[in-house]
């Protein structure tokens, strides 16, 4: 009997049919490794656990629908089919959709807590506190090392250098972060002498932002007597804290811009008021002059000398009233403008220094954390009329 000889293609095709037709669409959980983003837009990588690994692919049309950025070391859950790549005789998982492991559980917890707090009225508009138009002291609760605090401080310094700022460092990610944030909010409220409070952090994954989705943080925000601006993540990120807070800012930088008015805008506002007053006074004066001119040219004035004298006297009275009104209005506006200027000047850093305060620098930067200083380090202290250079002999914590 003649032997039947199979080609490699025949065998591979048979294996492909058996493999792909017998295995259903499955969910697979594993860690991404050797991720390669091809210029074509396809993603190639391996899914592994402690005992094995499998090749995987996400085609371009599906990669664009992912709501997260795959990365090496990331644990994911993937729905897909087992396929055999005949050219190499290697099987791989053809992924239909994927999500970070645990995201489904987190999203479910998010929606459950959101519904609970909504039913209790924690999101109601009538419970929102209004922010002061011109706050003088602001507290910030965030990580002391993240980009968020740098962005907030830079913008506040540029827009409103007269502000007093309190930074309460807090954990914003990981175990204990939610408890620390809630405690920080309560501490600032116990301190009390604050006009507004910014609570937030920079962007991250759903897991990274989860502290701001905890019930303990939501209730601390709701119970705060100080207006709170929530500034968590990027513009597309929404947390429970955003819904409870008195104002939600899309980013930490936006929070700094929303909470204070730029000093240049204030100056423009006052200049606009001054111009408006000048136009109003000038318009009234021109109107009165026109009336006087009309009276002077009237037929009645030309007809009778007596009538002329009466109208002349009336003109004098009107002129005096006009001058008095003009001077009175102008004086009032000058006093108001002077008071506003004094208020702005009283908030300047130089005035603060003149009251006996000082600012200490190390390496040209303001010292806000003593733990970053070293013994014998040279520091510089600025007072109202000069600067003092000194060397640290002892640090007290």
pLDDT in tens, 268-284: 566 767 777 878 887 88
**pLDDT over 60 (residue 339):** yes
Q: Are residue 337 and residue 220 in the same domain, yes or no? A: no
155 inside domain = yes
Between residues 341 and 333, which one has the greater pLDDT? Answer: 333
CATH number at residue 33: 2.40.50.140
What CA–CA distance (Å, rounded) separates 232 from 319? 63
3 inside domain = no
pLDDT for the residue 2: 67
pLDDT for the residue 287: 84
Range of the domain at 246: 105-259
Scanning the structure block, which residue is given the tokens 């664009």? Answer: 64
Q: Are residue 214 and residue 111 in the same domain, yes or no? A: yes
Q: Are residue 310 and residue 221 in the same domain, yes or no? A: no
397 inside domain = no
- Residue 322 φ then ψ, to 5°: -60, -45
For the segment 90-94, the average pLDDT, to the nearest whole number, is 88
CATH number at residue 117: 3.40.50.261
- Partnered with residue 120 across adjacent β-strands are none
Domain stops at, among 241, 259, 277 = 259
pLDDT tens column, 30-66? 888 899 999 999 999 999 888 888 899 999 999 988 8
56 inside domain = yes
Q: Are residue 245 and residue 109 in the same domain, yes or no? A: yes
Number of domains, the chain: 4
141 inside domain = yes
Q: Are residue 92 and residue 200 in the same domain, yes or no? A: no
67 inside domain = yes
What CA–CA distance (Å, rounded) separates 154 from 167? 13
Domain stops at, among 235, 259, 283 = 259
Between residues 181 and 261, which one has the greater pLDDT? Answer: 181
- Tell me which of 102-106, 212-216, 374-378 is least confident: 102-106
208 inside domain = yes
Does residue 84 contact residue 90 with C-beta atoms inside 8 Å? yes
pLDDT for the residue 329: 84
Q: Are residue 167 and residue 271 in the same domain, yes or no? A: no
**pLDDT over 70 (residue 244):** yes
Domain stops at, among 213, 237, 259 = 259
pLDDT band at residue 265 using 50, 70 and 90 as cut-offs: low
For the segment 355-382, the average pLDDT, to the nearest whole number, is 86
Between residues 341 and 99, which one has the greater pLDDT? Answer: 99
**pLDDT over 90 (residue 199):** yes
């Amino acid at each position: 009997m003649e032997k039947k000889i199979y080609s490699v293609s025949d065998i591979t095709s048979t294996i492909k049919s058996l493999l792909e037709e017998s295995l259903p669409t499955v969910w697979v959980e594993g860690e991404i490794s050797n991720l390669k983003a091809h210029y074509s837009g396809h993603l190639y990588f391996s899914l592994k656990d402690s005992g094995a690994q499998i090749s995987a692919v996400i085609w371009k049309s599906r990669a664009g629908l992912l709501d997260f950025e795959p990365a090496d070391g990331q644990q994911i859950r993937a729905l897909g089919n087992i396929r055999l790549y005949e050219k190499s005789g290697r099987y791989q998982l053809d992924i239909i959709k994927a999500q970070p492991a645990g995201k489904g559980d987190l999203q479910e917890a998010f929606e459950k807590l959101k519904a609970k707090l909504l039913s209790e009225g924690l999101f109601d508009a009538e419970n929102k506190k209004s922010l002061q138009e011109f706050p003088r002291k602001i507290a910030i609760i965030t990580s002391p090392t993240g980009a968020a605090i740098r962005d907030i401080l830079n913008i506040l310094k540029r827009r409103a250098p007269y502000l007093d700022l309190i930074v309460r460092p807090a954990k914003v990610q990981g175990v204990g972060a939610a408890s620390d944030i809630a405690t920080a909010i309560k501490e600032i409220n116990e301190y009390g002498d604050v006009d507004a409070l910014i609570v937030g952090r920079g962007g991250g994954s759903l897991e990274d932002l989860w502290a701001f989705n905890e019930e303990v943080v939501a209730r601390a925000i709701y119970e705060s007597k100080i207006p709170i601006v929530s500034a968590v993540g990027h513009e597309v990120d929404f947390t429970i804290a955003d819904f409870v807070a008195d104002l939600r800012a899309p980013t930490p930088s936006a929070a700094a811009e929303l909470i204070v008015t730029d000093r240049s805008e204030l100056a423009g506002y006052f200049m606009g008021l001054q111009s408006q007053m000048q136009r109003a006074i000038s318009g009234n004066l021109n109107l009165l002059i026109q009336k006087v001119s009309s009276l002077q040219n009237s037929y009645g004035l030309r007809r009778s000398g007596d009538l002329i004298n009466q109208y002349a006297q009336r003109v004098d009275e009107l002129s005096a009233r006009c001058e008095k009104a003009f001077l009175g209005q102008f004086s009032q506006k000058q006093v108001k403008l002077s008071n506003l200027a004094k208020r702005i000047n009283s908030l300047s850093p130089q005035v603060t220094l003149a009251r006996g305060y000082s600012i200490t620098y190390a390496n040209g930067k303001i010292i806000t954390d003593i733990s970053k200083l070293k013994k014998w380090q040279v520091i510089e202290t600025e007072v109202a009329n000069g600067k003092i250079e000194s060397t640290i002999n002892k640090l007290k914590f």
